[in-house]
Structure 1
Amino acid sequence: MHVLMVAAENDALPNAKVGGVADVIRDVPKALVAQGLTVDVVIPDYGFELGERCFIGEVSVAFKSETHVLSLFEITQNQKGVRQIVISHPLFSQSLSVYCNDNDNRPFATDATKFALFNAAICEALIQGVLTQPNTLHLHDWHSACVAVLLKFNPRYGKLAKLRLVYTVHNLALQGIRPFKGDDSSLEAWFPSLSYDGQRLCDPRYPHCFNPMRSAINLADKVHVVSPSYSQEVQIASNDAHGFFGGEGLERDLQQAAEQGKLIGILNGCDYAIQDKHEATYSQLLEQIESTLFSWMAKSAQLHSSHYIAHQRVLQFMACDKQGPLVTSVGRLTEQKVLLLCQQQSKDLTIDSVCQIINQFKGRLLVLGSGDSKLEHLFTCAMARNNNFLFLKGYGQGVGDLMYQLGDLFLMPSSFEPCGISQMLAMRAGQPCLVHSVGGLKDTVEHNVSGFCFNGDTLSTQADALLQSLTEALSLYQTNPKQWQAIKRRAADARFSWDSVVTDYITYLY
């Protein structure tokens, strides 16, 4: 069996990672190859240095009423049996980044155009034979959805109609919505001669808009979400006021997919073969943090307040020996991840209450991540208010690895979590997790067995439950070390291996 995966990110290649989807695109193909499948992976060429490459061919693509020539290359270094392919065009590499941040009045505009051209190039490469035609075409998130639209509605690709289409939803909150027409970044601007069924492609809330994610859900043979619990949650309408994030407007389409036997929930996996057995120390973590902060500071002529306050806090931590628990958190700063920490608690925010509870146990809180600028500022201000809180605005692999290894309790209060990788990495290192019992977190962390879980029917009750669960967990850490060590062992022994995951891929998706 031959599978072609199409995605925006791929951590098998340098710098082509932003989120957890890149880990999946790195690990799943290797595991499928180990099961005897042939797997090709293709992403855009963002202009990063990728190592040795071999020219495959060129394709001419009709896009925005012009002919564009795109080049395909295979990356040949250390790819472990997986054929890694990139498609080059100036539009993909102009920002030297995977994604662009457009203004709120034109969300996704730049990226949607970029990925629409990338998708058109995939279809042309398949029909022209530049890419080997697979048995299964596996599309990931909205960035690859136009492949399904073109294959189903453009007669030019009729010979590819028998290709099995599998579509994976990694993040339902990002759907890539653009207008059908009337904008330079719209479906009819990209493909002016395309005849399509607007009823299957439109956004349910904005019928004049094209929704790539909904389109792929409706057009694919199989729709895959990345945990069993999340596959149930997405069939229920979101209720923001009550703190529930489900179908995000696509619940009816996902209900229909489930009724047709198309919707499959398969939990993502984790690589257990790459654990670093080196015993690190807390002092080494602080030294690594200081070094990483210096590298971030040097990138700008102006010193960011977040980096300055963080460095002062590191010096403070270095001057005083660690006494209590080290609570850690690693991840993107988005509402999905930290909405509960931003809820009002009398005079302060939940993040302040978290710091106060940790301080009662003489502990410290370390948060590593960046994302929404407003949330970054909020966390910087919270760091200034709480002298046991260190917020690192950015991402450093070395710091993250040490935080997983040395933390006593990992905090992951996501409002929704399709699967989650951070909790698996923390558990792999033997660090129990405190999680909101949703999606993949519910499927990986067992309360008072391998970690700690909380829930609630509203944002307020969820925030209160988080604080209560944190207090109970740290009390257990302090008063019952034998039980704490048992929870640590069970966290470390938990296994969510890619081998079993890809067996389900082959059985239920391919």
Structure 2
Amino acid sequence: MKNFLFVAAENDALANCKAGGMGDVVRDVPRQISEHGDKVHVIVPSYSRLHQDGLFKTHLNFSLRGLSYTAELFEVKPKKEFPNIVHYVLHHPEIEAGDIAHIYHNDPEEPFYTDAIKYFIFNTAVAEAVKKGAFGDIDIIHLHDWHASLLLFLRAYHQEYTNLKDIRFVYSIHNLAIQGIRPFDDNYSSVRNWFPDVVFDHRTLMDYRYQDCINLMAVGIRFADAVHTVSPSYKEDVMKPSSPPEFIGGESLEQDLRTADEEGRLFGILNGCNYKNINIEEKGFIYRNTVKALFRWLQEESKKYKADFLAHTGEKIMEYVDKRPKFIASSVARLTEQKFYFFRRSPEAFVEILKKLEKVDGIFMLLGTGAPEYEELFRQLSYEHKNFVFTNGQSESLIDSIYLESDLYFMPSLFEPCGISQMLAMRNGNPCLVHHTGGLKDTVKHMKTGFAFDGETYDEKIKSMLDGFDQALDMFQNDKPAWKKVQTAAKKMRFTWKKSVDKYYKDLYQFDTE
């Protein structure tokens, strides 16, 4: 039996421990490994809250800032038990909950200032736990994004943790744009302040643009035994330089990624999707679930500033309860540049889409919260356009209803390492219209399992997006057999974790899968 340790900032196998797609992966991959008959330990920070009902395992003593530190390791209960998977959280009072999903801190003045401190402490405590044998003899340590890459720094340079050199390290990239850049010196949240006795090589660790800083995303890419992007096409994208907004690629790390590829260490393996135990709403409840969500949000203190907008949305949705629209286009996503840049830069293109929908008695439903400027834009558009329903909040049952009852799921991401929304929509037999980039390229085939748009220049992309929308609407209205065929083909697609994890075993873990 092989023994794994997963180290990450979030884990959706635990309640209230997810901010994005990484949490899903850290939940699902261990389950698949457990089906292989192997053992997995998964560890995340406690963020001063997740350890409260946990079972205390051990104290971990280590040195940081020239001082003695003690952290506590707790075993915690997951939402669902699986054989051979043990979940842990690590508690230290300086690892606090942030303002993003009670996990990450948002430090606009000095990016990563608070998070770097949290993850310096967390990773050193994890290294100590491994050294102490808290998880038994480990074969593979699988790290996720920059929050866990400091273990590779400790493995390379820290006298106390040379034992880590005997273990194979795998590094998964979920969001290449967020790199964990901090100064080497002269700052409380700097490498030198937290590791004053560690002798390290600046050149090997530095960010190319800010040479007096460490780039922790780069550390993962440069030092891991295997580096993993969450789709094959995204792997190809990140080896090229970014030229925004037309193309988002390696985000200044393309040289490191090309080197990893030349050394045979870089692998693109598509994330899977869960096709079992699906929590599904019944069909026909989309409007009722919208109203329920709106009433709930109206009672929340934090949403008082937009009570007037929520009421406006409620009034709008009531009209559709009796007189159902003939076509629903939808999107569910965090409102960020990555997901909706095209709409923010070209709101007139989005208005064009709403006009096309109007002609076929269709509506556009968008659910999400996020960057204030995006929320503001969509609220404004909702006031101006009767057939745009913007549900500005979070509701699991409404999200399920949207995935279940949409006719066309829209995903115009600027870049997409893998994407899960398109898989969830396709699982329900709903075709998607996607930007032909990253994981969207690997999962949606134009005119076969959905619709795609692309272009050499920004203007070409926008034109192609509107043309793609026309093609979808035209097929829906005028060629029902072809539409049915696309729906069936979408529903048949299976992006299983079994397939993905078999590839992990072969490429990332380098085990025999027999």
- TM-score, scaled to structure 1: 0.95
Q: Is the CA contact 1:351–1:382 (under 8 Å) kept in the aligned structure 2?
A: no
Structure 1 unaligned segments of length 5 or more: list them. none
- Matched positions, count: 502
2:104 to 99, 103, 113: 99
Q: CA deviation at 1:302?
A: 6.3
Q: Is the CA contact 2:354–2:364 (under 8 Å) kept in the aligned structure 1?
A: yes
Q: Is the CA contact 1:73–1:87 (under 8 Å) kept in the aligned structure 2?
A: yes
Q: Is the CA contact 1:177–1:203 (under 8 Å) kept in the aligned structure 2?
A: yes
Counterpart Cα distance in 1 of 2:133 and 2:382: 56
Counterpart Cα distance in 2 of 1:296 and 1:183: 41
Percent identical among aligned pairs is 37
Counterpart Cα distance in 1 of 2:369 and 2:147: 22
Q: Is the CA contact 1:239–1:245 (under 8 Å) kept in the aligned structure 2?
A: yes
Counterpart Cα distance in 2 of 1:61 and 1:116: 12
Q: Is the CA contact 1:92–1:114 (under 8 Å) kept in the aligned structure 2?
A: yes
Indicate yes or no: 2:207 matched with 1:203. yes
| Cα pair distance change 1:128/1:204, threshold 3 Å | same
Q: Which residue of 2 is the match for residue 221 of structure 1?
A: 225
Deviation per CA, 1:304-335: give whole Å up to 9, x if none: 33x53243233223224123210111111111
Q: Secondary structure at the match of 1:93?
A: coil
Q: CA deviation at 1:429?
A: 1.1
Q: Which residue of 1 is the match for residue 420 of structure 2?
A: 421
Counterpart Cα distance in 1 of 2:119 and 2:365: 36
Q: Which residue of 1 is the match for residue 86 of structure 2?
A: 83
Indicate yes or no: 2:18 matched with 1:17. yes
The AA in structure 1 aligned to 2:345 is Q
Q: Which residue of 2 is the match for residue 131 of structure 1?
A: 135
1:273 to 276, 282, 301: 276
Q: Which residue of 2 is the match for residue 27 of structure 1?
A: 28
Deviation per CA, 1:421-458: give whole Å up to 9, x if none: 11101101111100001110000001111100010112
Counterpart Cα distance in 1 of 2:313 and 2:433: 24
Q: Is the CA contact 2:159–2:198 (under 8 Å) kept in the aligned structure 1?
A: no
Q: Secondary structure at the match of 2:94?
A: helix
Q: CA deviation at 1:51?
A: 8.0
| Cα pair distance change 1:490/1:503, threshold 3 Å | same
The AA in structure 2 aligned to 1:188 is R
The AA in structure 1 aligned to 2:385 is N
Show the 5 A alignment for 1:271-310: 271-276=274-279, 279-281=282-284, 284-300=285-301, 303-305=304-306, 307-310=307-310
CA RMSD in angstroms comes to: 1.7
Q: Which residue of 1 is the match for residue 194 of structure 2?
A: 190
Counterpart Cα distance in 2 of 1:470 and 1:51: 49
Query: Does 179-188 or 415-424 show the bigger shift?
Result: 179-188
Counterpart Cα distance in 2 of 1:311 and 1:356: 24
Q: Is the CA contact 1:290–1:311 (under 8 Å) kept in the aligned structure 2?
A: no
Deviation per CA, 1:183-235: give whole Å up to 9, x if none: 11111122122211111211111111110000111000000000001111100
Q: Secondary structure at the match of 1:90?
A: coil
Query: Does 439-448 or 45-54 show the bigger shift?
Result: 45-54
Structure 2 unaligned segments of length 5 or more: list them. 510-514
Query: Does 377-386 or 34-43 show the bigger shift?
Result: 377-386
Q: Is the CA contact 2:119–2:147 (under 8 Å) kept in the aligned structure 1?
A: yes
The AA in structure 2 aligned to 1:130 is A
2:262 to 232, 256, 259: 259
Q: Which residue of 2 is the match for residue 453 of structure 1?
A: 452
Counterpart Cα distance in 2 of 1:272 and 1:101: 34
The AA in structure 2 aligned to 1:193 is D
| Cα pair distance change 1:313/1:183, threshold 3 Å | same
Q: CA deviation at 1:48?
A: 4.1
Q: Is the CA contact 1:310–1:390 (under 8 Å) kept in the aligned structure 2?
A: no
The AA in structure 1 aligned to 2:439 is G
Counterpart Cα distance in 1 of 2:416 and 2:48: 31
| Cα pair distance change 1:508/1:257, threshold 3 Å | same
Q: Which residue of 2 is the match for residue 41 of structure 1?
A: 42
Q: Which residue of 2 is the match for residue 343 of structure 1?
A: 345
| Cα pair distance change 1:131/1:403, threshold 3 Å | same
Query: Does 397-406 or 366-375 show the bigger shift?
Result: 366-375
Q: CA deviation at 1:99?
A: 0.9
Indicate yes or no: 2:51 matched with 1:54. no
Counterpart Cα distance in 2 of 1:156 and 1:106: 30
Deviation per CA, 1:391-429: give whole Å up to 9, x if none: 222221111111000111000011110000111011011
- TM-score, scaled to structure 2: 0.94
Indicate yes or no: 2:319 matched with 1:319. yes
Q: CA deviation at 1:297?
A: 2.8
Q: Which residue of 2 is the match for residue 230 of structure 1?
A: 234
Counterpart Cα distance in 1 of 2:70 and 2:15: 25
Q: Secondary structure at the match of 1:304?
A: helix
Q: Which residue of 2 is the match for residue 149 of structure 1?
A: 153
Q: Which residue of 2 is the match for residue 68 of structure 1?
A: 69
Query: Does 498-507 or 290-299 show the bigger shift?
Result: 290-299
